[in-house]
Amino acid sequence: MTLALDEDGATGAAGDRTVVGANLSLPLFRTLSGVLAGHPYLKIVVDRADSTWHLLDTQAHPFHVDYIATRVLGMTLAELDEGLDAFNASVYMDPERRFLLGVLSLHTEEDPDGTERPFLVLETTEADTMQGSLLEEFYRYVRERVDGRLPLLLKPANHGQENELASVGEADVPRILSHELFGDRTRTCLNPGEAEGRLRHFRTMAEYAAAAADLGWSDIVAMPRLPDDVPRVAGFVNTAPTTPLSHTNVLASGWGIPNAIVRDLDALVRHDGLDGAWVRYRVREDSVTLEPLPGPPALKKPAWHQQRIRIGTPLLHQAPVLPLDRLRRTDRDSYGTKAANLGELHHVLDSRTADLTVFYARRRPPRPHLLGHLSTRLGEGGASPERLRAAAAEHVARTVRAPEGVALPFHLHHLFLTSSPALQQGIGKLKMALELEAFDLVDPLCLTLQHLVRGTPMPDEVTRAVTAAVPDLLSDGRRMVVRSSSNAEDLPGFSAAGIYDSVTTVRGAERLMDAVRHVWASLLSPRSVRLRHQAGISLDDTYMGVIVQEYVPARLGGVLVTCNPTRREDFRNVYLNCTPGSPERVVDGTVLPQQYLYNTVEGGGRTVDIGSAGKDLPSETRSALARLAFTGRLLQSHFSEDDADDALDIEWLMADQGVFHLVQIRPYAR
């Protein structure tokens, strides 16, 4: 049994400073606390049976359940591991539970006169299902034992707790929501990593544009919002809020470079003279630092300078224009990865034969698997593996739709390119410039070729193939969306996020042909050519398929990734962003989206940021998004070919009646 210590924080047996029963003062808090996400925190356990509480020494007891099992109940860790899920349910979900587990974190707010005032925030773990009465009891118990001079607020740990607290008055339980507490955080991790390089700080897009040509692999680019065409450099710094799911952060993740929000960069630059200086840039989940270096470090060229990405040989035979539902994943070498994945999605939804339980069947030490949690999420307690597979397929088919549309093969792109001697000559010049590394010529050659692609007449054979594939859309004048589907994207080590174009406002045959040429031309943009060349992808092997779909009006659009981008070891959570309308608004940075984390193991979700909307989504919409996040996790079992833990990047639309349409499925760069 842990001994109660005095408030001086004197060391107990075996260096454990845990305190039982004492009132909590600020000095005692600081003695016992650790640091998480930049804030001091202290784990607490309330034992309702003994009407006492335990203030855990953070260094000695990093996990609540380990402490309760071994120090209070006298179990061994082996015994705990044997029944860990049942034990967790008894302390996090049982309405009659003996123990209340939580965390106290210390924050400060600034008074009008500039004085900083400390306050404490109490919260449970994210999967805790405390009812309103239990949350109120927990808050009151802690409030009575914390120094009365310290304000104490309760932060709901998930949407369920928010709903439970709706019937409890704020006078009885003062509270703060996560986005209210952390929405103005000065520094936020977007992609963990470390780099040494030269800080290049641009306050405006004009400043960036004037210097962009001189940026190199040893630079760390800092600006309010990084453009999608930023070159491959050592690191990114955003000085204004953004999302981990932006195109630029997906690139940072794929390139393995640090990226963070540093809202106080102007002050750092002024204080330390960092603009143009050499710095060590470290981004961690709980800290972001920029440390001046005395001079240029002994930098080595990054590994990607020798990178050689494997790419499948494009099949240029006379493949037909096909409906998406006729494609399978193996058709990627004829139609591109995006089209092939959407065809595979049709197969998954229609056949319901895919095993969508693989992610949950993986061993998660000390657990042999997570199938018990999966059965709970599916409402199939105690079901057999066969029934779980059927229930998972049924859930996915009920929740999402695959887009209707057609896929144009590489064959049509090849016909178009070979129909024009001018195009062939221009491509030959570009290939020569790349071989000779005459990079001063590459960009102008690319721009000339793009202009030529957009203006070259479409061969009659190509026009007939395209127009014959979508007669209803053309006769009715319906709006179409034309998307890229290259063989040089969504590859291990080369995501190509945001480097190829789509056209979302297309009507009629003439505009359709223009849009197809526009998508083909994006394969020859200066940026896409440079990035592929850096990755060792030959221009000869690169082709563009095209997807033509009917436009689907959306109430809500967004992106989800089946991981927590800022904490890769977290196998529970799916990160989801959304905004009214198109998902493109999420990834291009034009708005700050609403951001959510959904736990797909124990259940529950929480709001990370309410974004530019300035308010959270209604409870029923958030519940629908939870079902979508769970569906994304199930699809991960099928679409992650080599490793069920490899995350997916899914773009989606919520149409009328809350129906979800998936418009893109691809590997998430990790």
Q: What is the pLDDT of residues 520-566, one digit of tens each?
A: 999 999 999 998 998 889 999 999 999 999 998 899 999 999 999 98
Distance CA 211, CA 208 (A): 5
Q: How many CB atoms lie within 10 A of CB 125?
A: 19
The mean per-residue pLDDT over the stretch 58-73 comes to 94
Contacts of 531 (CB under 8 A, 6+ apart): 232, 494, 496, 499
Write down the pLDDT at residue 5.
42
Residue 371 belongs to a domain: no
The mean per-residue pLDDT over the stretch 641-656 comes to 88
Asked whether residue 307 carries a pLDDT value surpassing 80, the answer given is no
Residue 264 carries which side chain, given as an amino acid letter? D
Shared-domain flag, residues 509 and 594: no
Distance CA 599, CA 264 (A): 32
* Residue whose C-alpha is closest to residue 465's, from 320, 317, 318: 320
Residue 525 belongs to a domain: yes
Distance CA 544, CA 220 (A): 32
Q: What is the pLDDT of residues 387-432, one digit of tens each?
A: 999 999 999 999 999 999 999 999 999 999 999 999 999 999 999 9
* Residue whose C-alpha is closest to residue 348's, from 274, 311, 400: 400
* Residue whose C-alpha is closest to residue 320's, from 490, 459, 461: 461
At residue 20, φ and ψ (nearest 5 deg) are -115, 125
Write down the pLDDT at residue 566.
87
Write down the pLDDT at residue 11.
38
CATH number, domain containing residue 409: 3.30.1490.20
Percent of the chain with pLDDT over 90: 76
Residue 590 belongs to a domain: yes
Write down the pLDDT at residue 497.
79
Which carries the bigger pLDDT value, residue 6 or residue 648? 648
Write down the pLDDT at residue 286.
84
At residue 305, φ and ψ (nearest 5 deg) are -65, -25
303, 321, 336 — which closes off a domain?
Answer: 303
- Give me the domain span that covers residue 256: 187-303
Largest CA distance in the chain: 88
Q: What is the pLDDT of residues 151-162, one digit of tens each?
A: 999 999 999 999
186 conformational bin, left if phi > 0, alpha if psi -120 to 50, beta if neither: alpha
| Strand-strand pairing, 480-486 and 503-506 | antiparallel
Distance CA 211, CA 229 (A): 13
500, 526, 551 — which closes off a domain?
Answer: 551
Contacts of 125 (CB under 8 A, 6+ apart): 64, 92, 101, 102, 103, 157
Contacts of 94 (CB under 8 A, 6+ apart): none
CATH number, domain containing residue 214: 3.50.30.10
At residue 378, φ and ψ (nearest 5 deg) are -90, -5
Write down the pLDDT at residue 3.
41
Write down the pLDDT at residue 523.
97
Shared-domain flag, residues 162 and 194: no
Alpha carbon 49 to chain centroid, angstroms: 42
- At 10, the pLDDT band (50, 70, 90 cuts) reads very low
Shared-domain flag, residues 25 and 135: yes
- At 15, the pLDDT band (50, 70, 90 cuts) reads confident
Beta bridge partners of 408: 546
Shared-domain flag, residues 202 and 152: no
CATH number, domain containing residue 614: 3.30.470.20
Residue 140 belongs to a domain: yes
Shared-domain flag, residues 267 and 125: no
Tokens representing 564 are: 């927590």
The mean per-residue pLDDT over the stretch 125-138 comes to 95
Asked whether residue 588 carries a pLDDT value surpassing 80, the answer given is no
Shared-domain flag, residues 273 and 335: no
DSSP symbol at 116: E
Write down the pLDDT at residue 304.
63
Which of 108-112, 168-172, 518-522, 648-652 is the least confident region? 108-112
DSSP assignments along 589-656, one per residue: SSS--EEEEEESSS--EEEEE-GGGTSPPPHHHHHHHHHHHHHHHHHHHHH-SS-TTS-EEEEEEE-G
- At 303, the pLDDT band (50, 70, 90 cuts) reads low
Asked whether residue 485 carries a pLDDT value surpassing 90, the answer given is yes
- At 201, the pLDDT band (50, 70, 90 cuts) reads very high
- Gyration radius of the chain over CA positions: 28
Q: Are 633 and 357 in contact (CB under 8 A)?
A: no
* Mean pLDDT, all residues of the chain: 92
Shared-domain flag, residues 148 and 222: no
Write down the pLDDT at residue 339.
97
Asked whether residue 456 carries a pLDDT value surpassing 50, the answer given is yes
Write down the pLDDT at residue 1.
35
What sign has the CA pseudo-torsion 518, 522, 523, 529?
A: positive
Shared-domain flag, residues 599 and 503: no
Residue 284 belongs to a domain: yes
Residue 440 belongs to a domain: yes
Residue 182 belongs to a domain: no
- At 12, the pLDDT band (50, 70, 90 cuts) reads very low
Shared-domain flag, residues 470 and 597: no
Shared-domain flag, residues 539 and 560: no
At residue 302, φ and ψ (nearest 5 deg) are -65, 160
Distance CA 408, CA 72 (A): 65
Tokens representing 435 are: 């071989």
Shared-domain flag, residues 646 and 546: no
259, 274, 303 — which closes off a domain?
Answer: 303
Asked whether residue 592 carries a pLDDT value surpassing 70, the answer given is yes
Percent of the chain with pLDDT over 70: 97
Distance CA 569, CA 257 (A): 18
Shared-domain flag, residues 129 and 157: yes
Asked whether residue 591 carries a pLDDT value surpassing 90, the answer given is no
What is the tally of structural domains in the chain? 4
Q: What is the pLDDT of residues 21-42, one digit of tens each?
A: 999 999 999 999 988 777 899 9
Residue 380 belongs to a domain: no
Distance CA 174, CA 509 (A): 60
